[in-house]
């Protein structure tokens, strides 16, 4: 499962990965993939109107403008997969439209292929059963695109029943870290090591060989490239400052006023504190909110990153914190801008 809030680039990322697979690329953002061309079925229940531009942008930026995308099939028909009988209908549809049995099947999004209540564990298990049936029928990997819950208590978690999460071999959380930059963070990897967080930057690609739109402009779309390491190190500094603050308070919920007081206790000067929270400046709290590490509501903040939140709850004393080492004032210098 690849999940996240709306507009976090999930479809762009899934298409990028699947086109890399169908065209036999050897690497995907530094990770090795099979360089043998594989057949891919993309079940597009959402955002179908923009698929041509997404694929066109990928071809221009990453496939040397070669329009051969291998065995990449887009199917726009919708099937409610929480009804097991529809899995057979989908299998039949794939066989009638796809010349080579798929190695990968993408379901975009879960909601478009689900008719019941996502919070109902029975319906969720029926959906999972259909996905397993697809996987077994074609000996294929199934990737589900899904959304996060809107309820504040479940911020950063996949929407619906926990039966969805429990059935996944791999779960990847996509979140906006800052403008034009997203984070991909694996929070479940069955029988494998959790990989490092991947940061990607978006770039607009103008399709200047296409016909112009009605407003006399060329169509465009987005592609993603790997974000620079310097940005990743900046986020790590923000997380370490948060850990330093949590060590002092022992609380996973805090206000802006408490943050400023804690920074003062940590040795930050009044000027440094003012500069980082002055109007118009990006501060470490806003970056952590965008990264899905903390949540903000009416000026109050709460840790939602599972690893950090669980560590705060388990703290028996401020001196025996399992949170790890925080950051000193000198180490964080430059990270307040």
11 contacts 45 by C-beta, under 8 angstroms = no
Q: Which of 161, 128, 123, 126 minimizes the C-alpha distance to 144?
A: 128
Quick count: other Cβ atoms within 10 Å of Cβ 148? 20
Task: Report CA-CA distances (Å) from 293 to 174, 235, 262.
Answer: 12, 10, 19
How many whole angstroms separate alpha carbon 80 and alpha carbon 73?
20
Task: Give me the tens of pLDDT residue by residue for the chain, a chain 337 residues long.
Answer: 999 999 899 999 999 999 999 999 999 998 888 878 999 999 998 777 889 999 999 999 999 889 999 999 999 988 999 998 999 999 999 999 998 999 999 999 999 999 999 999 999 999 999 999 999 999 999 999 999 987 765 667 899 999 999 999 999 999 987 778 898 999 999 988 998 889 999 999 999 999 998 899 999 999 999 987 666 667 778 888 888 888 877 788 899 888 888 888 888 888 888 877 765 556 788 888 877 788 888 888 998 887 787 777 776 344 444 555 566 666 665 544 3
What is the helix (H) or strand (E) element at residue 205, kind and residue range?
strand 198-206
Q: Which of 224, 219, 222 minimizes the C-alpha distance to 207?
A: 219
How many whole angstroms separate alpha carbon 245 and alpha carbon 251?
9
Residue with tokens 């926990």: 162
Q: Which of 203, 163, 171 minimizes the C-alpha distance to 188?
A: 171
Domains within the chain, CATH numbers bracketed: 2-227 (3.40.50.300), 231-332 (1.10.10)
């Amino acid at each position: 499962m690849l999940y996240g809030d709306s507009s976090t680039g999930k479809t762009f990322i899934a298409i990028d990965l699947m086109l890399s697979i169908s065209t036999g690329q050897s690497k995907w953002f530094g990770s090795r993939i099979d360089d043998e061309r594989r057949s891919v079925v993309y079940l597009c229940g959402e955002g179908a109107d923009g698929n041509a531009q997404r694929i066109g942008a990928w071809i221009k930026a990453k496939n040397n403008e070669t329009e051969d995308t291998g065995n990449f099939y887009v199917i726009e028909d919708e099937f409610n997969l929480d009804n097991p009988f529809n899995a057979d209908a989908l299998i039949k549809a794939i066989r009638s439209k796809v010349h080579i049995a798929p190695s990968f099947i993408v379901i975009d999004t879960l909601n478009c292929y689900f008719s019941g209540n996502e919070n109902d564990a029975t319906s969720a298990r029926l959906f999972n059963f259909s996905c397993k049936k697809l996987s077994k029928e074609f000996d294929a990997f199934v990737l589900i695109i899904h959304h996060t819950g809107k309820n504040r208590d479940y911020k950063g978690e996949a929407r619906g029943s926990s039966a969805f999460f429990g059935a996944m071999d791999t779960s990847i959380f996509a979140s906006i870290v800052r403008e034009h930059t997203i984070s991909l963070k694996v929070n479940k990897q069955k029988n494998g090591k959790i990989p490092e967080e991947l940061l990607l930057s978006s770039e607009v690609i103008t399709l200047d060989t296409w016909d112009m739109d009605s407003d006399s402009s060329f169509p465009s779309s987005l592609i993603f490239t790997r974000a620079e390491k310097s940005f990743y190190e900046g986020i790590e500094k923000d997380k370490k400052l948060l850990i330093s603050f949590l060590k002092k308070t022992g609380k996973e919920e805090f206000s802006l006023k408490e943050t400023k007081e804690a920074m003062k206790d940590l040795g930050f000067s009044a000027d440094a504190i003012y500069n980082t929270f002055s109007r118009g400046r990006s501060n470490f709290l806003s970056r952590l909110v965008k990264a899905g590490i903390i949540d903000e509501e009416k000026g109050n903040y709460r840790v939602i990153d599972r690893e950090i939140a669980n560590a705060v709850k388990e703290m028996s004393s401020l001196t025996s914190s399992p949170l790890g080492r925080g950051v000193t004032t000198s180490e964080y210098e430059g990270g307040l801008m």
